[in-house]
Structure 1
Amino acid sequence: MSETTETSEAVLEGSYVPYTNSSPFQYASYNFENTALELARAQWPNYGDQHYLKGCKWSPDGTCLLTVVRGAGTHVMELPSDLYSGESIRTSRPIVPLQPAVSVPESGLIYDYCWYPGMNSSNAATCCWLSSGHSGPVHLWDAFSGDLRCTYRGYNNQDEIEPAISCVFSADGQSIFCGYKKNVKIFQTARPGRDFTEYPVQHQVSCIVASQAQPGVVAVGTWKNTIDLVSQSDGSFRHLCKLSGHKGGITTMAFSLDGFRLYSGARKDKEIICWDLRVPGRPMFCVPREVNTNQKIAIEISLDGKWLVSGGTDGKVQVWDVSEQTYPTVHMQMSLHSDCCNGVSLHPFRPILATASGQHHTLDPLHHTRNTSQYENALCMWWIGAQQEDPDLLTAIIKAASNS
């Protein structure tokens, strides 16, 4: 599909704005050889109701970062202005404290969220994100004001609103795919309300992703550890194949840039499986990671298709080079958090990695307390590009060594 025909309509107070899937920027050149340098951090307090983070996602234009905090709503953090340019960062650069530019105090649990794929800060109408939670319909939020633009309401057989467990935009932004207990509902982005079409499934849809390279191809993950690959055509779904190999329910998936590979991870499952969709009968390869809880631990594929990145319940971030190797080994492992690292997101145009940490900590059955030393609940930005030593700091170190 050409860029001129790849358009959709973003909803903004009844007006429609065309979206073209093009960018003036080049993909980031990540350097996973040096130790990650921390750039910025936001920390949430250790309240009794546990305000831990639930992932993080860079906006498509790279200007801001979206995160969800359990019990504290959704927050948008802007990229620090000094990080928009420059080929390298000095190791002496101070860590910038992050403050939310926009906060939405949604009540209850938020199950899933995603950016509008054509989000561009120079066009306010495209700056929005979706969120789904247990309290009601799918919401479309304004990224500038935090106002609610509209809702997409899925109804069950009893004509009751049911919450979407997962949600995602189509590659062109025209449609919204929402996963429910017994079906996938497809809404038209420009038509909020209760108009939708359905695709029936056998199990609850825990995770859903859309292919950017092959418009209309959608992977539907379930709590029954299976993945259905389907194709949307003429307003309906056509089943392509079923993938089965995980031990637990599917929690995270990502398509490769060319659309030929699908990476998936599951709860209480210490493997990421790579599926070759040209020969989908068996996994192409598996790589290990530490996941010993039911929590969603995100994976990310760099836009150039070279790097696979994953968090872990041990607080480590692992990186694999999947560009050429059939059975890749860990290229780099970074201990970035003292608590579970549940979110990883690579900046689209700068060598910056965002991570989110935190998890549910159970009560001590004898003392009814939690080990608060394990809490972190942090959103961080890390530089994974070229670094340079501060000449003044290096001179001071040499002088101090010579005096001793």
Structure 2
Amino acid sequence: MTDIMADAVYEMPVQSYVTYNFEKSAQELARIVWPNYHDQHYLKGCYWSPDGTCLLTIVRGAGMHVCELPTDLYSGDVVMSSRPITPLNPAVSVPEQGLIYDACWYPGMNSTIPATCCWLSSGHEGPVHLWDAFTGNLRCTYRGYNSVDEIDPALSVSFSADGQNIFCGSKKSVKIFHTSRPGREYVKYDVSHPAACIVASHAQPGVVAIGSWKNTIELVSQSDGTFRNLCKLQGHKGGITTMTFSLDGFKLFSGARKDKEVICWDLRVPGRPLFCVGREVNTNQKIAIDLSRCGRYLVSGGTDGKVLIWDVSQNVTPQENMQMPLHNDCCNGVSLHPTRPILATCSGQHHTLDPLHHSRSNSSYENALCMWWLGQQQEDPDLITAIIRAATNA
């Protein structure tokens, strides 16, 4: 498997400009809901595949699931307002019972090349796994060890921009594996605090951001399979949980736990934040952010169930944000489709027990994975005619 994937030619996805229409409310396209159990099976993030054909999500206590984009949404610039909501069913499920920390797609994923269709995951007290996106089978593992030769679980995982390396952030180091060589062969880069989040810049090859539990971000440069420190960014109040680079690689957006600010850093002048925007985050849970492929819009979830959108095309603080109240519970995952005006969101969080009744209120549960249309909408003329006739007859 790994030899085939190593030989596969990696090509950056073709950048196409997506037109978003934020003037109208988002139209729900598809949904899947996981039932509630006593052990809280809530969702923990969603990720579009690089080619946009499928969506990966993590469900606490119920593994990982891949849902496919409905076929009628592959093309077309307009969606009818009367389009029914498509019930999603996982095309692939991996019933991992343990706690899953992080997951990410292979950056060169292309559904026409099966060898590239895979994703990484890291979990509690286990190695990093590489999963086949067609079958859900385990392809291979990458095993990091600590000083007493025990498996050192990765808190965060990420591919390099070219897909040739895997970065695994643990409590005391970041381990760098070669993608085509699974096992325990790696290069180690020591860190002062647990590496809770790792992202690689696609525009600036070799530049990697490492976010820690200690509210700091370390920028490093990858060369010859090792890391070299560039600078350290400080400004968040909590541990870093989510980051994304801008399209040109000159900016970095970051968010943290129990921190109501998303910070934009100008990496050309990294001494202080370029600007900050506010969101609702009052939990230790990871609340994701994402950037549109055109680089203009930044989106974020929130513990209040709202999705916030900012126009960050200028190097100034956005004057206002657009808000979409899409969920009744915490919206912890947001992911913009790479080529279509479609937003994927997921909701859910841990609800504490009522100390008096030893039960939880089911009214606030919403463990849902949804797809939303952010493009042009059109009223169905047949539906309008039917409404007029019904009103006339009445």
- TM-score, normalised via structure 2 length: 0.98
Matches within 5 A, 1:208-247: 208-247=198-237
Aligned with residue 289 of structure 1, among 276, 279, 292: 279
In the TM superposition, what is the alpha-carbon distance from 1:396 to its structure 2 partner?
2.4
Write the letter of the residue equivalent to 2:332: N
Alignment match, 1:171: 161
In the TM superposition, what is the alpha-carbon distance from 1:18 to its structure 2 partner?
2.1
| SS in structure 2 of the partner of residue 330 of structure 1 | coil
Alignment match, 2:7: 17
| SS in structure 1 of the partner of residue 188 of structure 2 | strand
Q: Does 1:30 align with 2:9?
A: no
Closer, same or farther: CA 27–118 of 1 in aligned 2, 3 Å: farther
- C-alpha distance in structure 2 between counterparts of 1:15 and 1:347, whole Å: 24
Contact 2:102 2:121 in 1 (8 A): yes
Q: Does 1:183 align with 2:200?
A: no
In the TM superposition, what is the alpha-carbon distance from 1:392 to its structure 2 partner?
1.1
| SS in structure 2 of the partner of residue 258 of structure 1 | coil
- C-alpha distance in structure 1 between counterparts of 2:13 and 2:161, whole Å: 15
Alignment match, 1:100: 90
- C-alpha distance in structure 2 between counterparts of 1:82 and 1:96, whole Å: 10
Contact 2:247 2:293 in 1 (8 A): yes
Q: Does 1:331 align with 2:321?
A: yes
Contact 2:120 2:131 in 1 (8 A): yes
Contact 1:318 1:330 in 2 (8 A): no
Alignment match, 2:242: 252
Contact 2:274 2:315 in 1 (8 A): no
- C-alpha distance in structure 1 between counterparts of 2:95 and 2:21, whole Å: 37
| SS in structure 2 of the partner of residue 220 of structure 1 | strand
Write the letter of the residue equivalent to 1:153: R
Closer, same or farther: CA 53–15 of 1 in aligned 2, 3 Å: closer
- C-alpha distance in structure 1 between counterparts of 2:390 and 2:97, whole Å: 55
Contact 2:68 2:90 in 1 (8 A): yes
In the TM superposition, what is the alpha-carbon distance from 1:236 to its structure 2 partner?
1.8
Contact 1:300 1:345 in 2 (8 A): yes
In the TM superposition, what is the alpha-carbon distance from 1:38 to its structure 2 partner?
0.2
Closer, same or farther: CA 72–190 of 1 in aligned 2, 3 Å: same
Alignment match, 1:205: 195
Write the letter of the residue equivalent to 1:108: G
- C-alpha distance in structure 1 between counterparts of 2:96 and 2:347, whole Å: 20
Deviations along 1:72-127, one digit per CA (max 9) or x if unpaired, are 00000000000001110000000000000000011210000000000000000000
Write the letter of the residue equivalent to 1:36: A
- C-alpha distance in structure 2 between counterparts of 1:42 and 1:123, whole Å: 28
Aligned with residue 319 of structure 1, among 289, 309, 312: 309
Contact 1:53 1:377 in 2 (8 A): yes
- C-alpha distance in structure 2 between counterparts of 1:75 and 1:174, whole Å: 25
Contact 2:33 2:368 in 1 (8 A): yes
Alignment match, 2:361: 371
Deviations along 1:36-65, one digit per CA (max 9) or x if unpaired, are 000000000011111100000000000000
Closer, same or farther: CA 394–14 of 1 in aligned 2, 3 Å: closer
Q: Does 1:361 align with 2:351?
A: yes
Q: Does 1:393 align with 2:383?
A: yes
| SS in structure 2 of the partner of residue 309 of structure 1 | strand
Alignment match, 1:71: 61
Higher mean C-alpha deviation, range 37-46 or range 227-236: 227-236
Aligned with residue 131 of structure 1, among 113, 118, 121: 121
Aligned residues: 394
Q: What residue ranges of structure 2 are gaps of 5+ in the alignment?
A: none
- C-alpha distance in structure 2 between counterparts of 1:60 and 1:330, whole Å: 30
Aligned with residue 306 of structure 1, among 283, 293, 296: 296
Aligned with residue 274 of structure 1, among 249, 264, 271: 264
- C-alpha distance in structure 2 between counterparts of 1:167 and 1:135, whole Å: 14
In the TM superposition, what is the alpha-carbon distance from 1:13 to its structure 2 partner?
6.9
- TM-score, normalised via structure 1 length: 0.95
| SS in structure 2 of the partner of residue 398 of structure 1 | helix
Deviations along 1:330-377, one digit per CA (max 9) or x if unpaired, are 331000000000000000011100000000000001110001110000
In the TM superposition, what is the alpha-carbon distance from 1:24 to its structure 2 partner?
5.1
Q: Does 1:53 align with 2:43?
A: yes
Q: Does 1:85 align with 2:82?
A: no
Contact 1:17 1:126 in 2 (8 A): no
Contact 2:45 2:333 in 1 (8 A): yes
Write the letter of the residue equivalent to 1:396: A
| SS in structure 1 of the partner of residue 386 of structure 2 | helix
In the TM superposition, what is the alpha-carbon distance from 1:256 to its structure 2 partner?
0.4
- C-alpha distance in structure 1 between counterparts of 2:301 and 2:54, whole Å: 20
In the TM superposition, what is the alpha-carbon distance from 1:135 to its structure 2 partner?
3.2
In the TM superposition, what is the alpha-carbon distance from 1:15 to its structure 2 partner?
6.4
- C-alpha distance in structure 2 between counterparts of 1:238 and 1:33, whole Å: 45
- C-alpha distance in structure 2 between counterparts of 1:100 and 1:235, whole Å: 37
Alignment match, 1:7: none
Q: What residue ranges of structure 1 are gaps of 5+ in the alignment?
A: 1-10
Contact 2:2 2:179 in 1 (8 A): no
Contact 1:13 1:149 in 2 (8 A): no
Alignment match, 1:383: 373
**For the aligned residues, what is the CA RMSD?**
1.3
